[in-house]
Amino acid sequence: MPEPAAAAEDNRPYIIRAYGPDALRGALLRMFLIRNFEEAAEASYMRGLVHGTMHLSIGQEAVAVGACLGLTESDKITSTHRGHGHCIAKGADVGRMFAEFFGKETGYCRGRGGSMHIADPAKGNLGANGIVGGGLPIAVGSALSAKRLGTGAVTVCFFGDGANNEGAFHEALNMAAIWKLPVVFLCENNRYGMSTSTERSTAVPRVALRAAAYAMPGVTVDGNDISAVAEAVDAATARGRAGEGPSLVECLTYRWRGHSKSDRNRYRSREEIEAWMARDPIPRFAALLVAHGIMSEDEVRAAEAEAERVIEAGLEFARAGPDPSVADLTRDVYTTEAP
């Protein structure tokens, strides 16, 4: 959780004011972990070690880490098909994530879910979702539980720009608003739902404008600026915890890679991709930390090396895991075996 607000005359960026050095170093490490995890997952895919496809969020790391920075383990998130970053930002173990990619019994879903269904309920991650918009009503249900059970938890509901045209988005926002539930609808607007741009798919120029239809605050921030993301989400979670209801935070960002491994990038230009790659959120945050004396250049390099080491150990753990037994094909369809 963020620390009490500093004095008004403090002109440093929000994240520097609100979080201590350990939290900030941890945030940078998690951004490196997400980047390295996805690069290693992609490399594993290229080598034929990963069955099926995957949806990479390289370039979007500031959104996941910024949104989760102020959350506790009892707070919940719902995630999307592009959810590796959310998992890591909420504290998932990369070894068990890789094991899931490799279809191992030691994976988060014991090899039953793969890249699109990783969940970590113990850490408050209710799971990625293969259906665009599928997690939105579930997040509202999680917030309803928190309110009824008085847990004080908030739920951060990640969704992409593509989901904002699903009926589930509108139904979920409306119900969260009429019942004043502690949920933050966090739109990762990476500009394309698969190949279709928001300009071609969405009648309003900003997803956040849709908040007005559900009488909740809606803000749009630079999703490659972790401080801006954290500031907006922390304000929204504070509002939720205070019983004032839901908020919509739209983070403008970009996925460097295609939608999935089948994407040939026919719908966007090299210039556009390169322009966004020049706005890489990770060096930007690292430079901020160095400028404010939180970390030295050497410490930044050490954090990157540490992430690489964790990723390597995670891959090692995943490769060593056992495959599921075919005899267990129907295990966990039900909690108790059918009579």
Partner 1 sequence: MTTAGGGVRELSYAEALREAMDIALASDPRVILMGEDIGVYGGAFQVTGDLVHRYGEDRVIDTPISELGGAGVAIGAAMTGLRPIYEFQFSDFATLAMEQIVNQAAKIRYMLGGAVSVPVVMRFPAGSGTGAAAQHSQSLEAWFGHVPGLKVVQPSTPADAKGLLLAALEDPDPVLIFEHKLLYKMKGPVPEGHYTVPIGKAAIRRPGRDLCIVAGAIMVHRALEAAEALSAEGIEAEVIDLRSIRPIDRDTILDAVRRTGRLICVYEGVKTLGIGAEISAMVAESDAFDFLDAPIIRLGGAEAPIPYNPELEKAAVPQVPDIVAAARALAGGRL
Nearer to partner 1 by C-beta: 293 or 339? 339
- Least Å from the CB of residue 153 to partner 1: 9
Nearer to partner 1 by C-beta: 145 or 195? 145
Nearer to partner 1 by C-beta: 132 or 288? 132
Q: Which amino acid is at 121?
A: P
Distance between CA atoms of 109 and 258, rounded to whole angstroms? Answer: 25
From the CB of residue 7, how many other CB atoms can be counted at a distance below 10 Å? Answer: 6
Nearer to partner 1 by C-beta: 262 or 336? 336
Nearer to partner 1 by C-beta: 140 or 248? 140
Q: Which amino acid is at 278?
A: A
Distance between CA atoms of 103 and 112, rounded to whole angstroms? Answer: 7
Nearer to partner 1 by C-beta: 67 or 109? 109
- Least Å from the CB of residue 126 to partner 1: 6
Q: C-alpha angle 125/317/119, rounded to 5°?
A: 15
Residues contributing to the site for partner 1 (CB under 8 A): 76, 78, 107-113, 117, 119-121, 126-127, 129-131, 134, 136-146, 148-149, 167-168, 170-172, 174-175, 178-179, 330-336, 338-339
- Least Å from the CB of residue 186 to partner 1: 16
- Least Å from the CB of residue 30 to partner 1: 22
- Least Å from the CB of residue 148 to partner 1: 6
Distance between CA atoms of 280 and 308, rounded to whole angstroms? Answer: 18
- Least Å from the CB of residue 144 to partner 1: 5
- Least Å from the CB of residue 237 to partner 1: 17
Taking a C-beta distance cutoff of 8 angstroms, is the pair 263, 252 a contact? Answer: no
Nearer to partner 1 by C-beta: 120 or 161? 120
Nearer to partner 1 by C-beta: 131 or 275? 131
Three-state SS sequence of the chain: CCCCCCCCCCCCCHHHHHCCHHHHHHHHHHHHHHHHHHHHHHHHHHCCCCCCCCCCCCCCHHHHHHHHCCCCCCCEEECCCCCHHHHHHCCCCHHHHHHHHCCCCCCCCCCCCHHHHCCEHHHCECCCCCCCCCHHHHHHHHHHHHHHHCCCCCEEEEEEHHHHHCHHHHHHHHHHHHCCCCEEEEEEECCEECCEEHHHHCCCCCHHHHHHHHCCCEEEEECCCHHHHHHHHHHHHHHHHCCCCCEEEEEECCCCCCCCCCCCCCCCCHHHHHHHHCCCHHHHHHHHHHHCCCCCHHHHHHHHHHHHHHHHHHHHHHHHCCCCCHHHCCCCCCCCCCC
Nearer to partner 1 by C-beta: 70 or 135? 135
